[in-house]
A and B are shown apart, each in its own frame.
Chain A
Amino acid sequence: MPEIKVTPLGAGQDVGRSCILVSIAGKNVMLDCGMHMGYNDDRRFPDFSYITQNGRLTDFLDCVIISHFHLDHCGALPYFSEMVGYDGPIYMTHPTKAICPILLEDYRKITVDKKGEINFFTSQMIKDCMKKVVAVHLHQTVQVDEELEIKAYYAGHVLGAAMFQIKVGCESVVYTGDYNMTPDRHLGAAWIDKCRPDLLITESTYATTIRDSKRCRERDFLKKVHETVERGGKVLIPVFALGRAQELCILLETFWERMNLKAPIYFSTGLTEKANHYYKLFITWTNQKIRKTFVQRNMFEFKHIKAFDRAFADNPGPMVVFATPGMLHAGQSLQIFKKWAGNEKNMVIMPGYCVQGTVGHKILSGQRKLEMEGRQILEVKMQVEYMSFSAHADAKGIMQLIRQAEPRHVLLVHGEAKKMEFLKQKIEQEFHVSCYMPANGETTTIVTNPCIPVDISLGLLKRETALGLLPEVKKPQLMHGSLIMKDNSFRLVSPEQALKELGLTEHQLRFTCRVHIQDPRKEHETVLRVYNHLKAVLKDYSVQHLPDGSITVESILIQATAHSEDQGTKVLLVSWTYQDEELGSYLTALLKKGLPQGT
């Protein structure tokens, strides 16, 4: 039986280092190639030696697909393609292709320049790697080779995030990457058609959460910022440069516009300006509102948000500052935080999750006195707020996507094992499809039942359908013909044509069967009895009693002779050609049951 094999090299019952190997109908595809943020050793990249110990990866992989630009989905790409060695095609969407190198370069800088690691990929490697990338459009079917085709669907989450359908013949797999089923201020919701894949590989970050309405959170956020600004306080929002930051910017920008506010908003520079540039370019990837209004004004051309300068932090009066990094562990956001922490009028809003040990985590857990480097004690008087703005689908969203796509099997990745367990159970219960959640390195095999397309000549099709009644929808129908398998293709043709094509002569094949019947009467009487019986049973067929004492049912011939030894036993000779096999075997079975008594 044909199979689809899935092996996660990363993100199996885990978040981070997304990398999933799929082999489908003899094709090997790698989905995502990410790094793990939690490790700094070999574990941070997927173990590519699993694919091949020696020899080029190119020989073993048909293509690599990157779903979006987050580093846990593309961080290992230069390492994989340049250092391990892969020359095949890499597919990603246009925005991902544009933004991905910026992030990779940033990642490289931090690891090499700041942490001083060696044996890491270089800028040149990033460039070389990006040369291998083939950019795809949404809903564009890309033919990787003759059989393998891929197609991208919109996924929300971040700019350019996509879900991919991988299809070989009739078998298909959909990989969601990270996606979001509820729209936000700058991106739309993920959408997929009813493509009914054999396997849906979906992320499950929020497998056990059903989230509150987005509006409440937005309103809370805006209200807090507004109140603080009205009081004359300063608001610090530590963010990572891409993704949520743009959403919050849009949110504040439109709010400022609506409410006619005058307090300045700053965005710490660097990465962001470049990224914003791409956001402006890829308007088609954003949500309805931005797409509809960009003719008048591109929403990413911020009127109220200006570039931040270090000196501005000491300016009097209210202001809002977005600063990187998001967890307050270093850099500009921490500097500003130190300056503003002492004033109770000020506020810091943490829009995302903070890793343990960072300043962000400490203040969120309620610590008011922080020990900074140099034994300084920093008293935090400013207000600390937490607002979760996350762009993953929640449990309901995941279920909704499954309902939209109608897969035959589901496979969960990118989530915690315990939570997956719950969702798995739910999926099996709700949709009655099998659900898998392999760990890293564990291979899941899914047996598929692909349909095999067969060409049929129009003449034969018309002839055969003319025999039956109306073609019933979605019901199998019986057809007669000869199947010719030649050069990897299947054709259904009429027997005559098959004979002609193959240069064979037709042979008549007849089945004959003797049926013994206990009947003491004369032969012709028996024949008559059989005739009457058959006539009564087979009302729809033409049953004829021929003058020579034989019976024909359609083209089947029945003759009766007395048994040579026992006159009480009559031998019925039933003979039919193989075309009438169905009727013939039915007749013999019928006759074997004997004749009804009393006639």
Chain B
Amino acid sequence: MAAHLKKRVYEEFTKVVQQQHEDLSAKKLRLTKPSKSAALHVDLCKATSPADALQYLLQFARKPVEVESVEGVVRILLEHYYKENDASVRLKIASLLGLLSKTAGFSPDCIVDDAINTLQNEKSHQVLAQLLDTLLVIGTKLTENPSVRMRLIEVACKHLTDSSHGVRNKCLQLIGCLGPVEKGVVKETESQAAKDVQKIIGDHFNDQDPRVRTAAIKAMLQLHERGLKLQQTIYSQACKLLADDYEQVRSAAVQLIWVLSQLYPESIVPIPSSNEEIRLVDDAFGKICHMVSDGSWVVRVQAAKLLGSIQQVSSHFLEQTLDKKLMSDLRRKRTAHERAKELYSSGEFSSGRKWGDDAPKEEIDTGAVNLIESGACGAFVHGLEDEMYEVRIAAVEALCMLAQSSPSFAEKCLDFLVDMFNDEIEEVRLQSIHTMRKISNNITLREDQLDTVLAVLEDSSRDIREALHELLCCTNVSTKEGIHLALVELLKNLTKYPTDRESIWKCLKFLGSRHPTLVLPLVPELLSTHPFFDTPEPDMDDPAYIAVLVLIFNAAKSCPTMPALFSDHTFRHYAYLRDSLSHLVPPLRLPGRKLVSSPVSPSITPHEDPSQQFLHQSLERVYNVQHLDPQGIQELLEFTIRDLQRLGELQSELAGMADFTATYLQCQLLLIKALQEKLWNVAAPLYLKQNALASAAAKQILEETYKMEFMYSGVESRQVVIIHHMRLQAKALQLIVTARTTRGVEPLFGMCEKFLQEVDSFQRCFISELPHMQGSFVDKLLDLMPRLVTSKPSEVVKILQTTLRQSTFLHLPLPEQLHRATANIIEPTGESDNPLRFTSGLVVALDVDATLEHVQDPQGTVKVQVLYPDGQAQIIHPKPADFRNPGPGRHRLITQVYLSHTAWTEPCQIEVRLLLAYNSNRSKAAAKIPKSTWSDSLEVLPQSENGIEGTIPFSKPVKVYIMPKPARR
């Protein structure tokens, strides 16, 4: 046999060499390359001791092997495998086989037989395990081949009786990964052994080695993942495994139970020790709950996590998880939560707890108290009190998921969540606040709960406070006292942490608009109005007063009776705030004010509110005045831009759209201005100033178009075309200006060619959009294309100039939703007069804290730029982990920027700002449009702009005072 094999091996080997000969003739470059397999063969033959051979193999493993020579190498290795007496070398060979079969592009069918053969005479358990691992690799590469799979499974089944756990482990893994998933096919084609993989694996649930038991469960889960429907009979076996001595077994068993509970939620299982029966999902839920008080925290985390995803469980089971029957000296005691609830419902305030206040009342029957219920009792109470914060977080998450699907449970778990606000670990606190926010639709906070929630407002962590504001934004409060309490606490927070101003105002805005009827009775008190006396006018700049007004005005929006309670100055303040803080103060219908033309058109549908109408009207006006004289157009554009910018400030929801159009009009205005110059025809050098203006305009238009393309989320392909068109116009302008200013034709050739290329690629990219662009610059240009290609640069320039002037102004359609990416640096504040001192040459860390809105993929695009006074600029890429996502469309960047510089004589300011990086290759157009319009053309297309990368500054720069001191010697 061995001799025969050897012969075969040599045959194969020579074959490979021949192949290489063919290669040699085809590609000369390979001539000098020595054959890998041959070298290995020589090396292995030279090896005198196992240690030597091992060394050679190790060296060999470091280098990759080309696909063509894999098979040859495998043969060589196999040959040595049979010759080798030392187990460690065989082990290495076996592992190399696995590694080699992983080589991309290599199909391991040809070595399956040999690999299986090697198993036959192998005595060493370790080598066997490694060989099985190799087979696993081969099997996973050949999943489409059922006969190979079957053979491998048979091999695995045969070795399942091995006495070493490692071998059995691998066998089970192999079966799990390759076992047949479709029932029908198996019966016809295959032998006895491979018939019921589930049973084979199930038999090993009772293996004597815990590692094998774990592997068996894992294999079962693997089968499930591959789509096999597990049998329900496994359930009872799995339940037994929950009491295993080893944590990894228990942990895997919990998963298996969970899987089964999802597969057979409605089937009925008996309760041992009684005649009753319950649904499987309930039983499984109870069992997993039980594991929340397991001895090993790994199992506890696992169990707590899985609890959350059992949604079908019956409600009374679910509610038991929050119930830990309290008892003191055999008498039932009420929980503190229950007591709090009672105090609340009886209308009394807590008088402070007395000694023995919690004295138990009723006697309970000693027989009825079951101290350690097998059911779900108190699982969450335990989980939330766990020692390890991992378990607590998992429990909070599970609570969140269950509460989202069951309103009644949400109501019940509230007390527990509120308790978690006082956890010792900030992560847990934060997580529970977020959880609460997620379920806030289902709940209404009682006053005492609100009290506890509000107490957290004093937390020194900004994250916590902001999360809490966020929570309050969407909380339902039941009483007017609650609102008052919330307001008072928020104002307290404001005085303690003035930087929270914006967040608190926003919070009050939502609080007001959610509870208009509760705010109404509070208005006189809040505004401190008096029926007879005039009270002094409050200070308009007081953030606390603004906060109160924000609350009231938002409530007044849906409560028309409220304005009657306002005093005169309140109206004045309203007008002021509506103007200055328009995103917080809604438009109101106030008596005696014609702010809104509501009486005129009462039939306005909500989505077409007047401001949006205004936007559209003004745009219409602009587009319709093509025939106006140039001066008129300019003026109109200027006015419209001004209007739009103002509108954006006033109407936060329209800000994106208004800004977008304003930018577009601005581009147009610049273009028109540049073209309007009367001195175009005069020789250029005389009018340098003029050229400066035009080229600056071109540059600015380019910049603006990039902003339009990359800074707004929600831009569709229609807009992208217009933006690109505008850019093309800008480029044409640039070309004209350069042609005017430079002497000689040489540089122009290149530029012209490049421009024409761009036109060409524009046409190819947006071919489907071209029909919509009648009379535009590009339309005309394309008509003239044949002429342009053949003519001289000077002529091209001339043509461009005329086309540019004659082309019409393109209509910019507006998308449904448009948001502008904004960033706001909160820290550093830029107000500090104390310079940051550090020794030059060393670094100082500057904490940067910023909020980002409507930035897609901030991890990839947002950069921090630091500008030093000497003009040196530094761009820092924050780590992906520095970005947090507190809500949809919003991000928070908290990072550290390292500064360093050579010594300065006196402190100076550096500028820190955020940049939005863009790359036209992976622009939105490229990402989105393939789906809709030019689906296949993209791959073929050589990106015209060759991926222009750039950055857009999108935050206000903040100045930081720093002082690098010279190092002391």
Find residues 305-334 in chain A having any chain B CB closer than 8 Å to their own CB. Answer: none
Whether, in the assembled complex, B355 has its beta carbon less than 8 Å from a beta carbon of chain A, the answer is: yes
Contacts A183-B385, A192-B295; A222 near B326 (Cβ below 8 A): no
Residue on B with the closest CB to A187? B387
A397 to B171, CA, bound (A): 42
Q: What 0/1 readout, one digit per residue, does chain B (350-376) give for beta carbons within 8 Å of chain A?
A: 001111110000000010011110000
Residue on A with the closest CB to B425? A289
A64 to B710, CA, bound (A): 77
B324→A215 contact, CB < 8 A:
no
A289→B355 contact, CB < 8 A:
no
**Complex interface: chain A residues within 8 A of B384 (CB):** 213, 215
**Complex interface: chain A residues within 8 A of B458 (CB):** 258-260
**Complex interface: chain B residues within 8 A of A216 (CB):** 335-337, 419
B366→A365 contact, CB < 8 A:
no
**Complex interface: chain A residues within 8 A of B459 (CB):** 258-259
Q: What 0/1 readout, one digit per residue, does chain A (271-306) give for beta carbons within 8 Å of chain B?
A: 000000000000000011100000000000000000
Find residues 260-275 in chain A having any chain B CB closer than 8 Å to their own CB. Answer: 260
Give chain B nearest CB distance to A154 CB in angstroms.
10
Contacts A212-B335, A365-B355; A404 near B208 (Cβ below 8 A): no
- A-B pairs with beta carbons under 8 Å apart, 19 shown: A210-B326, A210-B327, A212-B336, A213-B324, A216-B335, A218-B422, A220-B353, A223-B452, A254-B424, A258-B459, A259-B458, A260-B460, A260-B496, A350-B355, A365-B355, A399-B371, A400-B372, A419-B329, A473-B206
User: CB < 8 Å: which of B327, B354, B381, B425 contacts A395?
Assistant: B327
B325→A210 contact, CB < 8 A:
yes
A430 to B352, CA, bound (A): 39
A364 to B355, CA, bound (A): 5
Q: What 0/1 readout, one digit per residue, does chain A (183-221) give for beta carbons within 8 Å of chain B?
A: 101001101111000000000000011111111111110
**Complex interface: chain B residues within 8 A of A422 (CB):** 330, 366
Whether, in the assembled complex, B245 has its beta carbon less than 8 Å from a beta carbon of chain A, the answer is: yes
A208→B355 contact, CB < 8 A:
no
**Complex interface: chain A residues within 8 A of B378 (CB):** 396
A470 to B204, CA, bound (A): 13
Contacts A208-B329, A258-B461, A422-B330; A215 near B353 (Cβ below 8 A): no
Residue on B with the closest CB to A256? B460
**Complex interface: chain B residues within 8 A of A209 (CB):** 327-329
**Complex interface: chain B residues within 8 A of A403 (CB):** 372
A217 to B385, CA, bound (A): 13
Find residues 379-434 in chain B having any chain A CB closer than 8 Å to their own CB. Answer: 381, 384-389, 416, 419-420, 422-425
A192 to B295, CA, bound (A): 7
Find residues 305-333 in chain B having any chain A CB closer than 8 Å to their own CB. Answer: 324-330, 333
Give chain A nearest CB distance to B890 CB in angstroms.
25
**Complex interface: chain B residues within 8 A of A192 (CB):** 295
User: CB < 8 Å: which of A289, A386, A396, A470 contacts B424?
Assistant: A289
Whether, in the assembled complex, A474 has its beta carbon less than 8 Å from a beta carbon of chain B, the answer is: yes
Residue on B with the closest CB to A400? B293
Question: Interface of A with B (CB < 8 Å)?
Answer: 182-183, 185, 188-189, 191-194, 208-220, 222-224, 226, 254, 257-260, 287-289, 350, 364-366, 383-387, 395-396, 399-400, 403-404, 419, 422, 425-426, 430, 470-471, 473-474
**Complex interface: chain A residues within 8 A of B245 (CB):** 194
Q: What 0/1 readout, one digit per residue, does chain B (330-349) give for beta carbons within 8 Å of chain A?
A: 10010111000000000000
* Besides the known contacts A226-B455, A254-B424, 8 further A-B residue pairs in the complex with CB atoms under 8 A apart: A182-B385, A213-B324, A215-B419, A257-B460, A288-B389, A396-B378, A404-B295, A474-B208
A365 to B357, CA, bound (A): 11
A547 to B278, CA, bound (A): 68
Residue on B with the closest CB to A250? B424
Find residues 149-180 in chain B having any chain A CB closer than 8 Å to their own CB. Answer: 161
A189 to B369, CA, bound (A): 24
A426 to B336, CA, bound (A): 26
Kindly list the 8 A-B residue pairs having the minimum CB-CB distance in the complex, ordered from nearest. Answer: A364-B355, A183-B387, A216-B336, A215-B419, A399-B372, A473-B208, A386-B355, A259-B458
**Complex interface: chain B residues within 8 A of A386 (CB):** 353-357
Q: What 0/1 readout, one digit per residue, does chain B (227-246) give for beta carbons within 8 Å of chain A?
A: 00000000000000000010
B336→A217 contact, CB < 8 A:
yes
**Complex interface: chain A residues within 8 A of B760 (CB):** none
**Complex interface: chain A residues within 8 A of B387 (CB):** 183, 188-189, 287-288
A220→B327 contact, CB < 8 A:
no
**Complex interface: chain A residues within 8 A of B354 (CB):** 366, 386
Find residues 430-489 in chain B having any chain A CB closer than 8 Å to their own CB. Answer: 452, 455, 458-461
Give chain B nearest CB distance to A355 CB in angstroms.
14
Contacts A210-B325, A399-B372, A473-B208; A219 near B386 (Cβ below 8 A): no
B419→A219 contact, CB < 8 A:
yes
A366→B355 contact, CB < 8 A:
yes
The winner among B352, B372, B388 for most chain A CB atoms within 10 A is B372
Whether, in the assembled complex, B207 has its beta carbon less than 8 Å from a beta carbon of chain A, the answer is: yes
Residue on B with the closest CB to A192? B295
Residue on A with the closest CB to B290? A403
B372→A210 contact, CB < 8 A:
no
**Complex interface: chain B residues within 8 A of A474 (CB):** 208
Give chain A nearest CB distance to B372 CB in angstroms.
4
A288 to B392, CA, bound (A): 12
A215→B352 contact, CB < 8 A:
no
**Complex interface: chain A residues within 8 A of B369 (CB):** 426
A259 to B423, CA, bound (A): 13
B161→A223 contact, CB < 8 A:
no
**Complex interface: chain B residues within 8 A of A194 (CB):** 245, 295
A183 to B392, CA, bound (A): 12
A185→B424 contact, CB < 8 A:
yes
A222→B422 contact, CB < 8 A:
yes
**Complex interface: chain A residues within 8 A of B388 (CB):** 288
A183 to B293, CA, bound (A): 13
B353→A470 contact, CB < 8 A:
no
**Complex interface: chain B residues within 8 A of A224 (CB):** 352
B496→A215 contact, CB < 8 A:
no
**Complex interface: chain B residues within 8 A of A183 (CB):** 385-387
**Complex interface: chain B residues within 8 A of A425 (CB):** 366
**Complex interface: chain A residues within 8 A of B423 (CB):** 215
A215→B329 contact, CB < 8 A:
no
A396→B207 contact, CB < 8 A:
no
**Complex interface: chain A residues within 8 A of B356 (CB):** 364, 386
The winner among A189, A192, A222 for most chain B CB atoms within 10 A is A189
Residue on A with the closest CB to B420? A215
A405 to B370, CA, bound (A): 20
**Complex interface: chain A residues within 8 A of B329 (CB):** 208-209, 419
**Complex interface: chain B residues within 8 A of A185 (CB):** 424
A426 to B373, CA, bound (A): 11
Give chain A nearest CB distance to B807 CB in angstroms.
63
A384 to B354, CA, bound (A): 8
Residue on B with the closest CB to A471? B208
A208→B330 contact, CB < 8 A:
yes
A213→B389 contact, CB < 8 A:
no
A192 to B422, CA, bound (A): 29
**Complex interface: chain A residues within 8 A of B326 (CB):** 210-212
**Complex interface: chain B residues within 8 A of A404 (CB):** 295
A399 to B377, CA, bound (A): 14
User: CB < 8 Å: which of A257, A287, A419, A430 contacts B371?
Assistant: A430
User: CB < 8 Å: which of B293, B328, B335, B416 contacts A208?
Assistant: B328
A259→B460 contact, CB < 8 A:
yes
**Complex interface: chain A residues within 8 A of B386 (CB):** 183, 189
A470 to B168, CA, bound (A): 14
User: CB < 8 Å: which of A214, A254, A259, A366 contacts B385?
Assistant: A214
A188 to B391, CA, bound (A): 14
Contacts A289-B425, A473-B207; A213 near B385 (Cβ below 8 A): yes
Residue on A with the closest CB to B422? A219
A383 to B351, CA, bound (A): 10
Give chain B nearest CB distance to A520 CB in angstroms.
52
A471 to B161, CA, bound (A): 10
